[in-house]
Structure 1
Amino acid sequence: MNFKRIQGIFLIAFIVIDVFLFMMTKNSKVQDDSANAGNVNTTIIKDMKRDNITVGSLSTAKHTGYYLSAEPQTDFGPRLATLKNQNARSENGTIVSDLRTPVKVAATHPERTLTKLLRKRPGFVLDAKQYRYDPDLSTKTKVVYAQQSPAGPFFSANAQLTFSIVNQRVIGYTQRELGNVKILHDKADLITEERAVISLYQYNELPNNAKILWTKLAYTRFLELSGKEVYIPTWVIAMNTKSNPKVQIKRINALNGASFNTEKVQEQPNGTAKVESVKNE
């Protein structure tokens, strides 16, 4: 039997088993659709506030999501020649580009100029329309765009476009891209933002005097198998504390509410974070 076919069978089998276990867990525990879930959540949020945890308004909107498979692109080959007015090269699966003529941008909203260029200037960036501005990961000197999947944004260093700014001028960028993105399973109901933050608190990952800076529903890496990666919907939660003002990133599996960490996040000040890929441990 073809080796790639065997890999595919094992991957699908793993997903089916994981979904089965998820449904078993869902049926055995109190979920958001339980009759008393609202009252329980309200009580827990009150406990969080007594612990001086600042959470803001948490949404109870319902979402659905998928398992996705994707392959990090490592060989851009002749496509680099289609880029214009820049010196671009490929280094270990990352496009590194120096603009021959730096692009002037505003000090307050540099992304406005960059977004127009991505949409309207051919040859500026490969597959430019796949990327969308991410204010939570951007800083004064770095403007970050996250690659979008058919089901929502990726939150991964393997799916990022980052522009470098010096003296209000964009001097270059780095780009990593996921290709061959596929949906592996039928859509499933996800936990709400409120439930995700409560889960984080119940796992003792939200200490006293913590503050939730932002949350987002995105696809993060779940596992890697022979060059292919599986991504799942995840509530990404950024927080800090009075004793540690640097941003810390937490992840809650949006399918079952479990806490997990598949990528290293480099802490940075001012409520931002840099995502760095590492293999699962």
Structure 2
Amino acid sequence: MNFKRIQGIFLIAFIVIDVFLFMMTKNSKVQDDSENAGSVNSAIVRDMKRDNIKFGKLSNKKETGYYLSAEPQDQFETRLGELKNQNARSENNAIVSDFKSTVKVNPDHPERTLNRLMKKKGFVLDADQYRYDRDLSSATKVVYSQQGQQGPFFSSNAQIAFSVADQQVVGYTQRELTNVKILHEKNDLITEERAIISLYQYNELPNNTKILWTKLAYTRFLELNGKEVYIPTWVVAINSKSNSKVQIKRINAFNGASVSTEKVQEQQNGKAKVESVGN
């Protein structure tokens, strides 16, 4: 075996070992960073508990999301003839409808009746795009939120809000997003735990606060040339002793930044009153 060949073998071996050691060092650093972040997060969670901030188990499940574009549905007028047993009209990109015969519902589980009726043709338009949202519903309003292929929307532009009086559904207002398109390839999102910690670090969680619920949904980020841009957002409902209202906080799920366009609703039977939520 000549000297050049031996040199080549040793060179290849050296490169392989060097790459192997580099990868080991890199993986170790990533693991160390992850462990350090986990340690810091645990310490902050303990601080939150000491401040009497009440919450359930916070998930560290990792998910991905997209930037989306969408447009408010403005073609309801041409489809009103599909609806049955109701007086419906189109107003400001919405259907406003009154039922000819009211629908009795169980005040604790109105979805049991409405889910069945949603399957019937002519009850509402595009019913398969909406799902019951217990968190946003109250004694006087039952909310169904629009579900996109990439996840649910949290916006008054993507809801059916049924009006309830004396346990009778008397009508509804429906808004819908259409032409939903992905603007950018998917990206990693922060976890629920990281979102709650971010709120705490932004001083958005006062002492003696209770976190009522959290959800990951697409909320409106900005409007551009008549189209709306939606991003994945951690939506958090809180209630504190110093404030008698349910407050809705939002954290950008891409980068953990606080979304300043928060909405505040009056508390009704321990649930958020849904009016212009998530715009």
Aligned residue identity for 1:64 = T
CA contact (8 A) 1:221 1:263 kept: no
Specify the alignment match of 1:97 in structure 2. 97
CA contact (8 A) 2:158 2:176 kept: yes
Give the alignment's TM-score, normalised by structure 2.
Answer: 0.85
Specify the alignment match of 1:164 in structure 2. 163
Looking at structure 1, the residues matched to 31 and 108 of structure 2 have their Cα atoms a distance apart, in angstroms, of 42
Aligned residue identity for 2:245 = K
Task: Give 1:236 deviation, angstroms.
Answer: 0.2
Of 70-79 and 129-138, the range deviating more from structure 2: 70-79
Aligned residue identity for 1:246 = K
Specify the alignment match of 2:231 in structure 1. 232
Structure 1 residues 33 and 105: alpha-carbon distance in aligned structure 2, compared to 1, 3 A threshold: farther
Looking at structure 2, the residues matched to 94 and 78 of structure 1 have their Cα atoms a distance apart, in angstroms, of 12
Task: Give 1:263 deviation, angstroms.
Answer: 5.8
CA contact (8 A) 1:156 1:275 kept: no
Task: Give 1:159 deviation, angstroms.
Answer: 0.4
Which runs of no fewer than 5 residues in structure 1 stay unpaired?
1-29
Looking at structure 1, the residues matched to 33 and 266 of structure 2 have their Cα atoms a distance apart, in angstroms, of 35
Task: Give 1:264 deviation, angstroms.
Answer: 3.5
* Structural mapping, 1:34-53, within 5 Å: 34-53=34-53
Task: Give 1:108 deviation, angstroms.
Answer: 1.7
Aligned residue identity for 1:99 = F
* Structural mapping, 1:1-281, within 5 Å: 34-119=34-119, 121-262=120-261, 264-269=263-268, 270-276=270-276
CA contact (8 A) 2:244 2:267 kept: no
Looking at structure 1, the residues matched to 233 and 88 of structure 2 have their Cα atoms a distance apart, in angstroms, of 33
Aligned residue identity for 1:134 = D
Q: What's the C-alpha RMSD, in Å, of the aligned pairs? A: 2.0
Looking at structure 2, the residues matched to 186 and 204 of structure 1 have their Cα atoms a distance apart, in angstroms, of 32
Task: Give 1:243 deviation, angstroms.
Answer: 2.0
Structure 1 residues 263 and 74: alpha-carbon distance in aligned structure 2, compared to 1, 3 A threshold: farther
Looking at structure 2, the residues matched to 278 and 217 of structure 1 have their Cα atoms a distance apart, in angstroms, of 12
Aligned residue identity for 1:194 = E
CA contact (8 A) 1:222 1:262 kept: no
- Give me the identity figure in percent: 71
Count of residue correspondences: 249
Looking at structure 1, the residues matched to 162 and 134 of structure 2 have their Cα atoms a distance apart, in angstroms, of 13
The secondary structure found in structure 2 opposite 1:34 is helix
- Measured against aligned partners, the alpha-carbon deviations of 1:109-137 in whole angstroms (never above 9, x if no partner) come to 11111011112x10110101100000010
Looking at structure 2, the residues matched to 96 and 33 of structure 1 have their Cα atoms a distance apart, in angstroms, of 53
Specify the alignment match of 1:24 in structure 2. none
CA contact (8 A) 2:68 2:230 kept: yes
Structure 1 residues 139 and 267: alpha-carbon distance in aligned structure 2, compared to 1, 3 A threshold: same
Structure 1 residues 133 and 69: alpha-carbon distance in aligned structure 2, compared to 1, 3 A threshold: same
The secondary structure found in structure 2 opposite 1:206 is coil
The secondary structure found in structure 2 opposite 1:195 is helix
Give the alignment's TM-score, normalised by structure 1.
Answer: 0.84
Of 270-279 and 196-205, the range deviating more from structure 2: 270-279
Looking at structure 1, the residues matched to 250 and 107 of structure 2 have their Cα atoms a distance apart, in angstroms, of 32
CA contact (8 A) 1:268 1:274 kept: no
Of 226-235 and 236-245, the range deviating more from structure 2: 236-245
Aligned residue identity for 1:87 = N
CA contact (8 A) 2:250 2:262 kept: no
CA contact (8 A) 2:160 2:175 kept: yes
